Structure 1
Amino acid sequence: MTALPRGGRPAEALAAVEASIEECWRRFLTEYGVAAGTREETELAETVVADTSDFAWRVVDAALGRLRCPECGNELGAGPTDCQKCDQANGFRFAAVEIDRPATPRGTEHGLRVATAVARTRHRYGVRARCGFELGLPVLLDGELPSTAQAQRYRAAIDKLAEDECERVTSFEEVTRRLSSRRGR
């Protein structure tokens, strides 16, 4: 499980998404009659990663987490940004199937998947991208999708924060409060 250095709702949301990833993987193993912790599980994970477009994104993320990169030795897709095998695997992550959850706006699941990938492999993304996607996790997990205008306002506000502030804030409301307090000085 990935622990976010930022706490609050983003960390809770990431823990909830990671639990859903593990639950999907457990069901997937059961469907294929494969026991966890076996060579067959590794082989099944390799099959998933060989063509991610055939599987749900949570299954793909779980499969990546069970494989090691042959170049850098890290979890496949989560190694340093200069690892070509991890870059390739991370890119293939985004070919997986996304099915929006019932009663959520179209595209919510895509947003959740991207935000989860960023939060789980933070070192692969810039500080402001991490901030925006991590703060968006609870909103997306709750089944909401910010409008384009809303997302642009969030980004503009995050762009006004110092990098150390970007790493500490735990909500979009906190970002707004920080910026408002500066204007009040």
Structure 2
Amino acid sequence: MTALPRGGRPAEALVAVEASIEDRWRLFLDEYGVAAGTKEETDLAEMVVADTSAFEWRVVDAALIRLSCAECGGELGAGPTNCGNCAQADGFRFAAIEIDRPATPPGTEHGLRVATAVARSRHRYGVRARCGFELGLPGLLEGELPGTPQAQACRAAINKLTEEECERVTSFEEVVRLSSRRVR
């Protein structure tokens, strides 16, 4: 599990999404009759990563968690930004299938997947991107998708924060409160 230093609702949402990834992987293993912790599980994860476009995104993310990068030795797709193999795997992650949950706006699942990838591999993204995506996790998990004007307003407010503030805030309300005190 990824520990999110931010805390609050974003950290709780990440825990919930990671649990959904693990739950989906367990179902996937059952579908293929594969036991967890076996060579067959590793082989199945390698098969998923070989063609990420054939599988649902939670299955792809779960497969990546279970594989080590041959180049850097880290979790595949989550290694240092200068690892070409991880960069490629991280890019292929986004070819996976996204199925919006019932009663959610189209694109909510894509937003949730991107926000999850950013929160789980924080070192691969800038401080302001991390702030926006991590703070967006709870709403996306609840089926809310911000419109363009709302997203642009949040980004403008985040851009007024210091990097330290970006790492510390735990809600968009806090971002608005801090950013309203300054002009940039």
Partner of 2:36: 36
Q: Return the letter of the residue paired with 1:17.
A: V
Q: Return the letter of the residue paired with 1:60.
A: V
Matched, 1:119 2:119: yes
Partner of 1:66: 66
Q: Return the letter of the residue paired with 2:120.
A: R
Partner of 1:89: 89
Name the TM-score, length of structure 2 as normaliser: 0.98
Partner of 1:12: 12
Q: Which runs of 4+ in 1 moved over 4 A?
A: none
Taking the aligned partners of 2:179 and 2:41, their CA distance within structure 1 comes to 49
Taking the aligned partners of 2:154 and 2:139, their CA distance within structure 1 comes to 13
Question: How many Å apart are 1:179 and its aligned residue?
Answer: 2.2
Question: How many Å apart are 1:178 and its aligned residue?
Answer: 1.2
Q: Secondary structure at the match of 1:131?
A: helix
Q: Return the letter of the residue paired with 1:3.
A: A
> Which string of whole-angstrom CA distances, capped at 9 and with x for unpartnered residues, describes residues 138-172 of structure 1?
01000000000000000000000000000000000
Taking the aligned partners of 1:159 and 1:176, their CA distance within structure 2 comes to 11
Taking the aligned partners of 2:151 and 2:116, their CA distance within structure 1 comes to 17
Name the TM-score, length of structure 1 as normaliser: 0.98
Taking the aligned partners of 1:9 and 1:67, their CA distance within structure 2 comes to 29
Q: Secondary structure at the match of 1:72?
A: coil
Matched, 1:104 2:107: no
Partner of 1:130: 130
Q: How many percent of aligned residue pairs carry the same amino acid?
A: 81
Taking the aligned partners of 2:107 and 2:13, their CA distance within structure 1 comes to 18
Return 5+ residue gaps in structure 1 as ranges. none
Taking the aligned partners of 1:160 and 1:173, their CA distance within structure 2 comes to 14
Q: Secondary structure at the match of 2:105?
A: coil
Q: Return the letter of the residue paired with 2:99.
A: I
Partner of 1:153: 153
Q: Return the letter of the residue paired with 1:85.
A: N
* Contact 2:45–2:63, Cα closer than 8 Å, also in 1: yes
Q: Secondary structure at the match of 1:155?
A: helix
Return 5+ residue gaps in structure 2 as ranges. none
Partner of 1:3: 3
* Contact 2:158–2:179, Cα closer than 8 Å, also in 1: no
Partner of 1:179: 179
Taking the aligned partners of 1:179 and 1:80, their CA distance within structure 2 comes to 31
> Which string of whole-angstrom CA distances, capped at 9 and with x for unpartnered residues, describes residues 110-155 of structure 1?
0000000000000000000000000000010000000000000000
CA RMSD after TM alignment: 0.6
> Which string of whole-angstrom CA distances, capped at 9 and with x for unpartnered residues, describes residues 39-84 of structure 1?
0000000000000000000000000000000000000000000000
> Which string of whole-angstrom CA distances, capped at 9 and with x for unpartnered residues, describes residues 26-46 of structure 1?
000000000000000000000
